[in-house]
Amino acid sequence: MLLHKVLSKDLIKGDLVYYEKGDKFAVDAVILATSYDDGSCFVDTAELDGETNLKRRTGPFELNSFKTVEHIKTLKGEIQSELPNQNLISFEGRLVLSDDVKLNSPESHHVIPLNINNLLLRGAVLRNTEYCWGLVLYTGKNTKIMKNLKKASLKISSLDNKLNRYTLYAFIYNLFLLISSVLLELKTYYSIKDEYNNELWYLGQPQDSFSTQLKSDILSYFAVYTYVIPISLFVSIEVSKLCQGLFMHWDKKMTFHRPLPDGTTLKQCMRPNNTNINEDLGMVEYIFSDKTGTLTQNQMVLSKFFINGLEFHEMKQLGSLKEALNSGKTVDGIPIDDLTMEYSILFLRVLSLAHDVLPTLDNNGGYVYESSSPDETALLNSAAHNGFILSNKVKIYTEIRTTFKYANNNQLLGADVGNAIKLQDFNEERFEQLFLLEFNSDRKRMSVIVKNPNGKIHLYSKGADNIMLSRLSKDEKLNPPSLLKEADKALTKFSEEGLRTLVLAWRELTEEEFLEFKVEFEEAERSLDGREEKIATVAAKVEIELRFLGCTAIEDKLQDEVPETIDYLLKCGIKIWLLTGDKQETAINIGLSSKLLSNSMNIHILKGSSFDEVYHNLNIIENSMKNTEANDIQHALVVQGETLGIIFDVNFKSEERIKFLNIGKNCKSVICCRVTPLQKASVVHLVKKNVKCITLAIGDGANDVSMIQSANIGVGIMGREGTQAVRASDYAFAEFRFLRRLVCVHGRFSYMRISSIIMFGFYKNCAMITVMWWFGFYSQWSGTLVFEEIFMSAFNIVYVSLPPLVMAIFDRDVNEDKILRYPQLYIEVSKSKAFWNLWTVLSWLLSALYHSAAIFWCVYLVNIDGNISETGRTTGYWAQTAFLGTPVLTTVLLKFCLTTKTFNYLHALSLIFSMALNSISIVILEYFGYSEIGNGIIVDVSVTYYLICILMPVVCCLPDFIVISFKRIFLPHDADVMREESRLDSQ
């Protein structure tokens, strides 16, 4: 059998595949063998779970020697596995080999258990491993990453929907004008027809056919009244959104200079991928955020140790424990006794052995630790700084290099630690690894069973404090109560500081205890049904009677200004849900350090592995929240991924799902742990569909793509986890802190500007066309234009094109620093709908109707008996078009001046351009014969014309000015107050 390349679409279940370092897996496959003797390999799963750290995967021990084509082709058997699903953190199956397959040893079983650590998942990349063999398990749409993908939907802003609705209303108003005009014209038609031969002969012969007259009327008025619908408004909105997007891209305060390994920096500007939804940024009510790489730098550092009543501050001094052991005293001068030394040796031994990390050498000869958990990397780095260096690890043994001097051979703890440390620069010690009991969200601990060089069997364990403390021995000689009391105080202190804590413990196993455990564990591993539960049960039997060693406190470095950003967004009335693949304790600690949670909150934990259990726990949480309503206590909810899987099960009661949503709505913050990409999208969809609000999702990895696409607004972080999230997002930038500026500055301004231009667009068209309707009462509904034809055509696209566009691009009601200082300014917009509400819409409509009526009737009264020109003759129709057109234009522009919040030279230039163009066009139209000769002179020298152009805008806009002034003085918005404060500050 020869190796040859094939397309992934041609692979089927049961095929053997060969991957080399750097290859991306195209299918889900079972590891058979790798270039490492123990069957281990490293994979990069950034596209799956967002984690940048390499993860260790292993093949079955029985197949480690199957490294060549000749060996691989001898494999025969079948795989028994669960049905394809989207679960990325668990898998149950087994490989059943034929009896004639020769395995590594005669004792090897032909029924080999498989779990998630034996799988290579599609989308992952092989790293630090020369090659690996795999057996295809799932292909195409059945792979786990494809099960987690969600089809993207077209995103339309909420104001676009309102714009469409108001366009429909404008069309209805258009129909009213059309139908009323046609009906009134038909009434006039019969009057003229009856009186034609007597008195109205000068109007011309009316149509003989009623149907012909009706068609003529409908077409005439339809052509005129279509100006009610502001077609140019759509173009203006698109241009303004494009310019708003450019402002976001050019915003230097959202630009990040990322340092590169070669010492240079990479300039990362904010990237607006979809400017269609700019205004929705100003109405966000829910934010759904990833954690790793989004809130954090994913760079964890061990901050503190607690050992035998003493605290060691690693952040202040690297290697503080090593230094204390070498000098015999702590930094504070506290002596280190022999018991503390024994504790410390075992403490560091736990850090160095209880993990699944493989060390690699860098170019400088130093050790690099790649782990699926950044916590593990931090712990091992700290152990190395303190003299315990993990130098080699394979599946069956681990080697530790010790580099500090310790000559005490006393065995105060019975651990025989003296043989491990000698008076020299370093010494390497090999521990045979017998079993590794891995961490999961239920166990909340990890243990390793090793055989020491002296032949003794030890169990070293570390895990969450609440779990580990409950598994300690009750023997006061082994675990003195005073020590445990001090440890509890230290754990409380570390947690209040937002640090992530672990408790370390150990015990010695007799040969009989170990053999009994080995038989039960191997039997549980081969089980196909409920394997994880059976393994957990067996592990729990041996992880008892532990002896306390100490605890660690890890700081997961947040990105700059994350706590301040979250605190500000919460004060803006925005609810933040943290959706992370991390374990519960990690997520809660990050919530505390980022100010998403506080110690004063009542934190509810929702868990359950069955429908009935989840129903029961939902009722308990709901009743608990009701009982504390009177105390004004803030609540937070923490949900496990397994529980979310049950909640989103198709058989889960919809009313209970809504109950879960209502509980989340009543909480200030919600944290969902161990969630899959599809569960992230389901949570967003649940809120978006039922709450009917604007949602925003932010993440940095491929595992966040479904969530980003499900939300109304998707934001990608330009991090170290690929570009999938950035490409799928609507907006992208380098750090989480820029979200505050994007939402509360650019989003608020965009919402205000687009709202204003929409209102102004409908207002100006309604004001102009309604004048035409008023004119119908005195033109016998003949369809005669009250304005000059070119004036009507150019009104939107020329005369009144620039002012609203300038307003939609540059207008701002308050300074940026005021918005960033006072979150109430965002609440006023998003919650109170200050820029778009029923009163605002009605006020614009009433203004349009009043302005049209006032302008028409004023001009009508001036010209009712004919206005006298400079020649002594009365003015005619062409002068009347200017008498009506120019006041309409000046009134609309004055209304624009009252509407805009900022006035600069661009606003002034747009106004001058509009007025100058109108005056010039009167002369130009006469020159080219579009109007009566001499009309320009008649208009230019008419005092009445100038009085109307000056007085009518004042008369029309005086009520608007009075209302605006009254509201600013007696009923001011927060923005009005801030604007006044800025004016006083400038003085």
Rounded CA-CA distance 525/531 in Å is 6
Contacts of 794 (CB under 8 A, 6+ apart): 921
The active-site residue, picked from 290, 356, 375, 960, is: 290
Query: Which residue type occupies 157?
Result: S
Q: Is 292 annotated as a binding residue?
A: yes
**Any idea what the Cα angle at residue 484 is, between residues 483 and 485, rounded to 5°?**
90
Rounded CA-CA distance 503/468 in Å is 6
Distances (CA, A) of 662 to 137, 617, 625, 655, 659: 41, 14, 11, 10, 5
Q: Is 645 annotated as a binding residue?
A: no
Q: Residue 135: phi, psi to the nearest 5?
A: -115, 120
Strand, coil or helix: what is 403? coil
Asked if 962 contacts 850 with a C-beta cutoff of 8 angstroms, the reply is no
Rounded CA-CA distance 481/342 in Å is 19
Rounded CA-CA distance 784/647 in Å is 66
- 39 torsion bin: left (phi>0), alpha (psi -120 to 50), beta (else): left
Rounded CA-CA distance 373/263 in Å is 27
Rounded CA-CA distance 569/143 in Å is 38
Residue 361's DSSP bridge partners are 367
Q: Is 537 annotated as a binding residue?
A: no
Q: Is 700 annotated as a binding residue?
A: yes
CA torsion, ordered 747, 752, 755, 757, to nearest 10 deg: -110
**287: nearest Cα among 578, 636, 581, 709:** 578
**681: nearest Cα among 156, 153, 84:** 153
Write out the two tokens for 189: 């038609």
Asked if 713 contacts 695 with a C-beta cutoff of 8 angstroms, the reply is yes
Give the burial class of 366: count Cβ atoms within 10 A of its Cβ; 0-12 exposed, 13-18 middle, 19 or more buried. exposed
Query: Which residue type occupies 923?
Result: V
Q: Is 376 annotated as a binding residue?
A: yes
Asked if 725 contacts 699 with a C-beta cutoff of 8 angstroms, the reply is yes
First to last CA, the chain: 87
H runs (alpha helix) in 692-747:
705-710, 724-728, 738-741
Write out the two tokens for 498: 């937002």
Number of other CB atoms surrounding residue 248 within 10 Å: 25
Instruction: Judge whether 290 counts as a catalytic residue.
Output: yes
H runs (alpha helix) in 815-942:
816-821, 824-830, 838-863, 877-899, 905-927, 935-940
Asked if 595 contacts 566 with a C-beta cutoff of 8 angstroms, the reply is yes
Q: Is 475 annotated as a binding residue?
A: no
CA torsion, ordered 228, 234, 235, 238, to nearest 10 deg: 160
Q: Residue 245: phi, psi to the nearest 5?
A: -65, -40
CA torsion, ordered 962, 968, 972, 973, to nearest 10 deg: 100
Asked if 574 contacts 748 with a C-beta cutoff of 8 angstroms, the reply is no
DSSP assignment string, 759-774: HHHHHHHHHHHHHHHH
Strand, coil or helix: what is 501? strand
Rounded CA-CA distance 698/719 in Å is 12
Contacts of 572 (CB under 8 A, 6+ apart): 743, 744, 823, 826, 827, 830
Instruction: Report the run of H or E that residue 464 belongs to, with start and end.
Output: none
Q: Is 818 annotated as a binding residue?
A: no
Q: Is 704 annotated as a binding residue?
A: yes
Contacts of 305 (CB under 8 A, 6+ apart): 311, 312, 314, 320, 321, 347, 550, 551, 552, 553
User: Annotated binding site for ATP: which residue ranges?
Assistant: 290-292, 376, 439, 462, 500, 580-582, 674, 680, 703-704
Binding residues for Mg(2+): 290, 292, 700, 704
Active site residues: 290
> Which residues line the annotated binding site?
290-292, 376, 439, 462, 500, 580-582, 674, 680, 700, 703-704
